């Protein structure tokens, strides 16, 4: 993708990674972008870089706009390698007067790239720099996504270069959010939140409160992944507030793995007791579904119900993988229950319930287990489990 001007003298110089399919365990079925921005003026400023394998593309994009040697400052909003893999080569080429970043980012950059000789200039919350009549204000966003993270606000242009927050992993030829299909855009933004930011929800609430207190106006939110928001910006900020606030729908997500079909059959009967016009249910067989798609669905669900057969005295490996992933993302304020099948040791529901409780999911039914193959009595208990979840989801306190 060629660079282009998003505002007078402010250029997108990033890259589109059409082929990214895995972002450390998050399935990026539509690729991603690593957005970098170049501001021309009295001081020429590059905001962020890209993954190391796209270094040449970034350099070519910069060269299409300006001689890289004329860049004065590099702002590093966040040290993670998707934004700094190309940084050493860019610094060698540009020889910048200053590398502006937080102290935590300096520490992280040295730990990544082992170059303490770089011309670091530490910025703190609210610090500003000037480029002619343009002001860049640094707004801290610690833990969004790492301790070092910050954002850069171009005051006169009302543009927030937001790094990870407000991003999506979605490779497109379009660069603005209003140019793409809105349902898919919201899905990709939700998937990003669920799989990257879920455990950082408290930091996101704090950041959104800070933006509100600062009373900033936004003409654009320009993240480092995916599309730039320039229309109806309050809507995406409000949506982030809802996700960070744990806003839930009367919705349950059932996730299971099955050995010989018993647990799968039980899942169908949980659905029978649970689903209706007023409660939405999604069902995922882990043999066919990716953990990160399931987490996206869990983001605004009130209930998580898990099922597994017992294998060698433990939970099936795909379910162990899913539970480990979900535990790391720390979904908050959910209710849940468990079901499953066993051969000669009736411990599967106990093990699954312990996993749910360790994640602070409120287990609202003791669960249903069956030896080998369920009969109609077991199916009736599965339907009752579904009905309990349904009542809880619809109760006024849910």
24 assigned to active site: yes
Say which of 153, 192, 256, 284 is annotated catalytic.
192
Q: Does 134 bind ligand FEO (CB under 6 A)?
A: no
The least CB distance from residue 300 to ligand FEO, in Å, is: 23
Spell out the residues 6+ positions from residue 239 whose beta carbon is closer than 8 angstroms to its own: 186, 189
Nearest 5°: the CA angle 298, 33, 57 is 160
CB of 35 to ligand FEO, least distance (A): 10
225 given a catalytic annotation: yes
Residue 48 Cα distances to 52, 81, 114, 121, 341, angstroms: 12, 11, 18, 15, 51
Rounded least distance, CB 55 to ligand FEO, Å: 16
Compute the least distance from the CB of residue 178 to ligand FEO, in Å.
22
Which tokens go with 127? 């610090």
Residue 182 CA to residue 261 CA, distance in Å, equals 38
Single out the residue of 48, 80, 257, 383 in contact with ligand FEO (rule: CB under 6 A).
Answer: 80
Task: Candidates 61-69, 74-82, 152-160, 179-187: pick the segment binding ligand FEO (CB under 6 A).
Answer: 74-82
Contact call for residues 392 and 337 (beta carbons, < 8 A): no
Which region, judged by CB under 6 A, interacts with ligand FEO, from 80-88, 123-131, 150-158, 259-267? Answer: 80-88
Catalytic residue among 17, 78, 83, 153: 78
Of 11, 26, 37, 82, the catalytic one is 82
Give CA–CA dist 337/306, Å, rounded.
7
164 belongs to the catalytic site: yes
Three-state secondary-structure class, residue 54 = helix
Q: Which residues of 68-105 are buried (b: 16+ CB within 10 A; e: fewer)?
A: beebbbbbbbbbbebbbbbbbebbebbebebbbbbebb
For residue 164, the minimal CB distance to ligand FEO (Å) is 5
- How would you class 43 by CB atoms within 10 Å of its CB: exposed for 0-12, middle for 13-18, buried for 19 or more? middle
Kindly identify the residues of this chain, within the stretch 156-175, that bind ligand FEO according to CB under 6 A: 164
**Which of residues 78, 269, 291, 390 is near ligand FEO by CB under 6 A?**
78
Catalytic residue among 17, 148, 164, 297: 164
- 312 burial level (CB within 10 Å; 0-12, 13-18, 19+): exposed
How far apart CA 18 and CA 330 sit, in angstroms, is 30
Choose, from 83, 145, 169, 269, the residue flagged as catalytic. 145
Q: Which of the ranges 42-50, 76-84, 127-135, 384-392 carries the binding residues for ligand FEO, by CB under 6 A?
A: 76-84
Confirm or reject binding of residue 82 to ligand FEO (CB under 6 A): yes
Residues 25-64, one symbol each (x = binds ligand FEO by CB under 6 A, - = not), give: ----------------------------------------
Whether 187 is catalytic: no
Kindly list the distances between the CA atom of residue 19 and the CA atoms of 11, 15, 171, in Å, as whole numbers in the listed order: 24, 12, 9
Instruction: Provide the 10 A C-beta neighbour count for residue 328.
Output: 11
Task: Look at the chain and count its residues.
Answer: 398
Among residues 17, 48, 80, 224, which one is catalytic? 80
Q: Cβ of residue 54: shortest distance to ligand FEO, in angstroms? A: 13
78 is catalytic: yes
Among the listed residues 48, 148, 224, 293, the single contact to ligand FEO using CB under 6 A? 224
Q: What tokens does 224 get?
A: 């480092």
* Least distance to ligand FEO, CB of residue 185, Å: 18
Radius of gyration of the chain (CA): 24
Does 293 help bind ligand FEO (rule: CB under 6 A)?
A: no
Binding footprint of ligand FEO on the chain (CB under 6 A): 78, 80, 82-83, 145-146, 164, 224-225
> Which residues participate in catalysis according to the annotation?
24, 78, 80, 82, 145, 164, 192, 225
């Amino acid at each position: 993708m060629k660079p282009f001007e998003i505002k007078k003298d402010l250029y997108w110089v990033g890259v589109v990674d059409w082929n990214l399919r895995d972002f450390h365990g998050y399935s990026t079925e539509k690729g991603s972008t690593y957005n970098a921005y170049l501001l021309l003026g009295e001081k020429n400023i590059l905001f962020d870089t890209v993954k190391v394998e796209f270094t040449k593309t970034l350099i070519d994009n910069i060269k299409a706009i300006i001689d890289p040697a004329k860049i004065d400052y590099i702002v590093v909003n966040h040290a993670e390698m998707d934004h700094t893999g190309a940084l050493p080569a860019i610094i060698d080429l540009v020889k910048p007067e200053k590398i502006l970043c937080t102290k935590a980012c300096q520490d992280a950059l040295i730990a990544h790239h082992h170059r303490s000789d770089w011309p670091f200039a530490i910025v703190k919350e609210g610090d500003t720099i000037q480029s002619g009549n343009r002001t860049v204000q640094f707004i801290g966003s610690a833990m969004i996504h790492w301790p070092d993270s910050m954002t850069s606000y171009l005051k006169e242009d009302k543009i927030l270069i937001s790094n990870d927050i407000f991003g999506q992993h979605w490779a497109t030829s379009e660069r603005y959010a209003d140019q793409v299909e809105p349902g898919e855009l919201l899905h990709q933004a939700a998937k990003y939140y669920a799989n990257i930011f879920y455990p950082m929800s408290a930091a996101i609430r704090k950041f959104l409160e800070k933006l509100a207190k600062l009373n900033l106006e936004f003409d654009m939110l320009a993240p480092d992944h995916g599309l730039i928001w320039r229309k109806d910006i309050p809507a995406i900020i409000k949506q982030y507030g809802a996700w960070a606030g744990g806003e839930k729908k009367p919705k349950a997500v059932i996730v299971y793995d099955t050995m010989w079909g018993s647990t799968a059959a039980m899942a169908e009967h949980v659905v029978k007791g649970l689903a209706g016009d007023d409660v939405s249910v999604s069902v995922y067989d882990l043999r066919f579904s990716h953990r990160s798609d399931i987490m996206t669905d869990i983001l605004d669900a009130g209930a998580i119900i898990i099922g597994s057969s017992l294998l060698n005295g433990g939970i099936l490996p795909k379910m162990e993988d899913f539970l480990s992933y979900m535990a790391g993302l720390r979904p908050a304020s959910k209710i849940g229950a468990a079901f499953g099948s066993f051969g000669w040791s009736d411990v599967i529901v106990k093990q699954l319930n312990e996993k749910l409780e360790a994640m602070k999911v409120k287990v609202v039914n003791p669960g249903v287990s069956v030896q080998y193959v369920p009969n109609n009595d077991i199916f009736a208990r599965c339907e009752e489990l579904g009905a309990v979840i349904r009542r809880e989801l619809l109760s006024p306190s849910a």
